[in-house]
């Protein structure tokens, strides 16, 4: 996620919802139109463009597909359900990415950017077909980019840093101004073309100058072009300070353009606040920390915890040796990230002792996941065999349980006979007791308590 205009996190709940729908919506629009790999190129500044287009179009985001604002990154809507503002922002995002890759191929290590261009070949080739639908002249963009390259190789026209920034940022300003203006046509609001062109041009200058300010040390170490290095008589720190002053003036001019544009007042306040806060954070002058007060901001800490938990579970799933394919892929990716410099250095030097040494080291490291893959594959097979045996035992136990439950039902007749016999036994026992008592009562009538008056009639039992 690149760019200047990221969310500051201090907005109210409704602004957060608006931003998330455009941020997630632009990302998902890229995935729907160009494939999932293109989402790696998401740019905050193209999200800013999508917001501007939605404002001038006066759209009701509540009518959008719920998937556009869903927190699940896998909930991607169909291409025909995408609003025009998100479609256009997705296309411009791909254009900026392609131009950046092409520019870096000429400035930096070509191998890396050639691999990037090859990896994104399908999205880059598809965006060309969509540009004509928006009325964008691709050749005009290429001419602006060539003019930028020409100015990098030309002699400086002024000795002042501010003058250099104005001159070198002009092609970038022309590109962004042109594309922002075409955005007004894309959402069928041509009356906004001039306002969007002015905001886009000023914003392009600001982004160009900020990139030069941030990359001056790296460009100096790599020997790459940076306009802050064109005047060796000006110390680097002083050049950076003059650039920072120039950036603040450009930001204030953008603020003025936004205030003069017929945007709603809350939109003006939100955009201007976000612009200045992000610029201050990038320049290191005001690290921005917000205290949650209401709405979605209160959920920032638990949301962060849940996000960390999801990331941890995802990493654990991809680094689990019991998942051989995932584990090997993650291990190789880790090696390429950590040892990419050795790999590129070996490729640059060509064949030789150092070449074989570097590749020997990488070969040993790559052999480790292969061995672990084989071992994990065996473990996985054993685990699968054990799971199969457990399932068989479970099925066998269930069958035995069902049989045991059915057996008592077959002896219901015997149980009935036993119960009848028991009842008859109890009845006969009761009859015997009654007879015995009756006999004793008759004897008692004759003898009473066995007194001598009854000697002539002895009791008979």
Q: pLDDT tens, 334-380?
A: 767 776 666 666 666 654 544 455 566 666 666 666 766 676 666 66
* pLDDT over threshold 70, residue 108: no
**Over pLDDT 90: what percentage of the chain?**
32
Helix (H) or strand (E) holding 36: none
How far is 7 from 16, CA to CA, in rounded Å?
8
How much is the pLDDT for 300? 39
How much is the pLDDT for 28? 94
* pLDDT over threshold 90, residue 403: no
Task: Please give the sequence-ordered ranges of beta strands (E in DSSP) within 401-459, or none if there are none.
Answer: none
Mean pLDDT across the chain: 79
How much is the pLDDT for 452? 47
How far is 279 from 69, CA to CA, in rounded Å?
27
How much is the pLDDT for 287? 52
How far is 377 from 366, CA to CA, in rounded Å?
17
How much is the pLDDT for 398? 83
Q: Tokens for 434, please give them.
A: 């009654």
Q: Tokens for 126, please give them.
A: 């598809």
How much is the pLDDT for 92? 95
Q: Tokens for 141, please give them.
A: 């963009």
How much is the pLDDT for 441? 52
Answer with the residue of higher pLDDT: 275 or 402. Answer: 275
- Give the residue among 315, 325, 318 at the shortest CA–CA distance from 369: 325
Dump pLDDT digits (tens) for 225-281: 888 888 888 888 999 999 999 999 999 999 999 999 999 998 898 899 889 999 998
* 15-19, 368-372, 425-429: range with lowest mean pLDDT: 368-372
How far is 92 from 96, CA to CA, in rounded Å?
6
* pLDDT over threshold 70, residue 396: yes
Sign of the four-CA dihedral 340, 345, 351, 354: negative
Whether 294 and 15 have beta carbons less than 8 Å apart is answered as no
* 76-80, 197-201, 372-376, 411-415: range with lowest mean pLDDT: 411-415
How much is the pLDDT for 411? 54
What's the rounded mean pLDDT across residues 137-146? 92
* pLDDT over threshold 70, residue 60: yes
Whether 11 and 270 have beta carbons less than 8 Å apart is answered as yes
Dump pLDDT digits (tens) for 179-210: 999 999 999 999 999 999 999 999 999 999 99
List % helix, strand, coil for the chain (3-state, nearest 5): 80, 0, 20
Answer with the residue of higher pLDDT: 306 or 205. Answer: 205
Torsion of CA 220, 225, 230, 233, to 10 degrees: 0
Dump pLDDT digits (tens) for 213-222: 998 888 888 7
């Amino acid at each position: 996620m690149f760019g200047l205009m990221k969310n500051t996190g201090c907005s109210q709940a409704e602004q957060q919802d608006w931003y998330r729908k455009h941020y997630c919506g632009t990302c998902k629009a890229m995935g729907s139109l160009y494939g999932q790999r293109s989402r790696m190129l998401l740019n905050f500044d193209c999200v800013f463009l999508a917001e501007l287009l939605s404002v001038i179009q006066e759209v009701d985001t509540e009518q959008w597909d719920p998937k556009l604002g869903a927190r699940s990154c896998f909930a991607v809507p169909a291409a025909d359900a995408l609003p025009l503002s998100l479609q256009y922002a997705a296309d411009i995002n791909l254009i900026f990415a392609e131009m950046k890759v092409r520019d870096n191929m000429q400035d930096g290590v070509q191998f890396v950017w050639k691999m990037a261009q090859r990896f994104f070949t399908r999205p880059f080739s598809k965006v060309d077909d969509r540009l004509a639908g928006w009325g964008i002249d691709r050749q005009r963009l290429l001419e602006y980019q060539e003019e930028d390259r020409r100015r990098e190789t030309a002699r400086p026209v002024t000795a002042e840093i501010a003058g250099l920034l104005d001159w070198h940022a002009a092609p970038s300003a022309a590109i962004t101004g042109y594309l922002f203006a075409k955005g007004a046509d894309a959402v069928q609001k041509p009356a906004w073309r001039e306002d969007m062109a002015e905001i886009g041009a000023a914003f392009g200058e600001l982004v160009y100058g900020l990139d030069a300010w941030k990359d001056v040390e790296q460009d100096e170490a790599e020997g790459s072009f940076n306009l802050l290095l064109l005047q060796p008589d000006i110390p680097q720190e002083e050049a950076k300070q003059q650039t920072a002053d120039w950036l603040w003036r450009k930001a204030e001019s953008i603020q003025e353009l936004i205030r003069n544009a017929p945007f709603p007042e809350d939109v003006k306040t939100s955009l201007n606040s976000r612009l200045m806060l992000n610029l201050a954070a990038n320049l290191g002058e005001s690290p921005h920390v917000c205290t949650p007060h209401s709405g979605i901001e209160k959920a920032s800490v638990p949301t962060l915890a849940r996000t960390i938990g999801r990331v941890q579970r995802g990493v654990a799933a991809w680094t689990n040796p019991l998942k051989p394919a995932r584990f090997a892929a993650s291990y190789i990716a880790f090696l390429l990230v950590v040892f990419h410099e050795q790999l590129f250095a070996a490729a640059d030097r060509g064949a030789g002792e150092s070449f074989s040494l570097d590749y020997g080291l990488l070969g040993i490291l790559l052999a480790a996941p292969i061995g672990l893959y084989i071992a994990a594959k065996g473990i996985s097979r054993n685990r699968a065999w054990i799971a199969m045996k457990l399932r068989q035992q479970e099925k066998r136990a269930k069958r035995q349980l069902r049989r045991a439950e059915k057996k008592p039902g077959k002896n219901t007749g015997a149980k009935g006979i036993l119960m009848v016999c028991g009842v008859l036994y109890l009845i006969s026992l009761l009859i015997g007791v009654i007879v015995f008592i009756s006999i004793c009562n008759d004897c008692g009538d004759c003898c009473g308590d066995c007194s001598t008056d009854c000697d002539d009639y002895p009791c008979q039992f």
